[in-house]
Structure 1
Amino acid sequence: MRLANTVIAAALACTVALPVSATARPALRDVPEIENTLFAVAIADAIRDRCDDISPRVLRALNTLRKIKAQANDLGYSDDEIRAYVESDTEKARMRAKGEKFLAQNGVSYDKPETFCTFGRAEIAKSSAIGVLLRAK
C-alpha cells in the first residue's frame, strides 16, 4: 500500500509539473475574452471606415489590442500563435462573415452608408465595447 501511495504521489507531481500542451488549449477564436474584444474592434473599424461623421479612438483601440495580446500570452499562447491567428486569411474571412451578419441584424446595410453612422452613434451613446472605440465628430 505504501508503494502504491508513493507511485500515485510521484505521478501526480509529474502531472502538475508538466506544462499545458498547445493541443490542450482552445483555439483563440474559442476564448471569449479574446474573440469578443477582437470582434468589437473589427466592428468599430468597419463603422469608422464607412461613416465620415465618426472617427476611431486610436489610442484606446491600440491599448485594447495590447490588453488582449497580454491576456492571450497569460493564457499560454505565444506571440507567434497570436500573430498566426490575427493574420490568418481563414480567421479574417470568418470574422468578416460574423461581422456582416451582426451588422445586418442591427439594421446596418453596406448599400446605405448612413446606417453605419446611425449604428455607430447608438453604440457610442451606450458606451458599448464597440462605442468606446469610436468618437462622433
Structure 2
Amino acid sequence: MHKSIEIDEKIFQDAVKFYGTVFNLPPLASKIYAYLLFDYEKMGITFDEFVEVLSASKSSVSTSISLLLSSQLIVDHNKMDERKRYFFINDEYKKIRFEKIVQKMKDELKLLDDLDNFKKVKDDGYDEKIEAYKALLDKNIINIQESLNKL
C-alpha cells in the first residue's frame, strides 16, 4: 500500500505536537489527526493506511481512532461499494470546540456572580479586578458567538 496523500514531515511533526497539546491527545491519536490534516481533497484515509504509514499495531490504531471519534475530532464514512471505513477531519469540530469554550466561560461567569453575591452578603467591598475579569469574559463570549454565527 502507498500513502494516498503527500505530507510535509516538519509540518506533520509540528501538528502532532500542537494538536497533542491542544486536544490533550496521546501520541498516536495526535499523529492520526495530524495525518488527516493533509487530506485536502477529502478522499478519506482507511484504517489500513494508518496502520502502515504510522507503523502502529491494529489495536493501537483502533483505540486511537475510537478516541478521536468519541471526541468528535474526526468522522468516518463507508463508501457504497466498499466495506472499508474512510476517516476525515470533522469540519464541524471548530464550531463544537468554540461552543464548549463559550459554555466554560459562561459557567465561570455564573460561578463568579454567585461568589460575588455571597461576598456582598458578608462584605460590601467592590473588587475591581474581578469586575474587569468578568467584563473580559463577557466581551470574549460575545466575540466568539458572533464569529460562530459566521461559520
- Bigger relative contact order (CA 8 A; separation at least 6): 1
Normalising by structure 1, we get a TM-score of: 0.30
Q: Which has the higher helix share?
A: 1
Normalising by structure 2, what TM-score? Answer: 0.28
